[in-house]
Amino acid sequence: MKLFASLLMTLPSLAFAAGGFTWTSGIASALHLPEHVVLFGFVSVLFILVGLLYRLKTADVSAALVPDSKFTFRNLFEFVGEFVYGLTRNIMGDKMAKEYFPLIVMLFMFILMSNVLGLIPGFLPPTDNFNTTLALGLFVFIYYNWHGIRVQGLVGHIKHFMGPAWYLAPLMLIIELISHGVRPISLGLRLKGNMEGDHLVLTIFSDLVPYLVPIPFYVIGLFVCFMQAFVFTLLTIVYISLACEVHDHEHHD
**Whole-number Å distance between alpha carbons of 125 and 105:** 19
Residue 231 interacts with another protein (CB under 8 A): yes or no: yes
Nearest approach in angstroms of CB 60 to another protein is: 35
**50, burial (CB in 10 Å: exposed 0-12, middle 13-18, buried 19+):** middle
Q: Which stretch binds another protein (CB under 8 A): 8-16, 95-103, 136-144, 191-199?
A: 191-199
Q: What is the maximal distance between C-alpha atoms in the chain? A: 75
Residue 18 interacts with another protein (CB under 8 A): yes or no: no
Residue 131 interacts with another protein (CB under 8 A): yes or no: no
Nearest approach in angstroms of CB 191 to another protein is: 9
Cα atoms in the 13 Å half-sphere on the side-chain side of 232: 39
Residue 149 interacts with another protein (CB under 8 A): yes or no: no
**Whole-number Å distance between alpha carbons of 1 and 5:** 6
Interacting residue with another protein among 14, 18, 37, 234 (CB under 8 A) = 234
**Whole-number Å distance between alpha carbons of 63 and 77:** 17
CB of 198 within 8 A of CB of 224? yes
Q: Which stretch binds another protein (CB under 8 A): 60-68, 95-103, 205-213, 233-241?
A: 233-241
**Angle CA 99–105–107, to nearest 5:** 115
Nearer to another protein, 24 or 228 (CB): 228
Interacting residue with another protein among 22, 129, 194, 236 (CB under 8 A) = 194
Residue 85 interacts with another protein (CB under 8 A): yes or no: no
Residues lying near another protein in the complex (CB under 8 A): 87, 90-91, 186, 189-190, 193-194, 197, 230-231, 234-235, 238
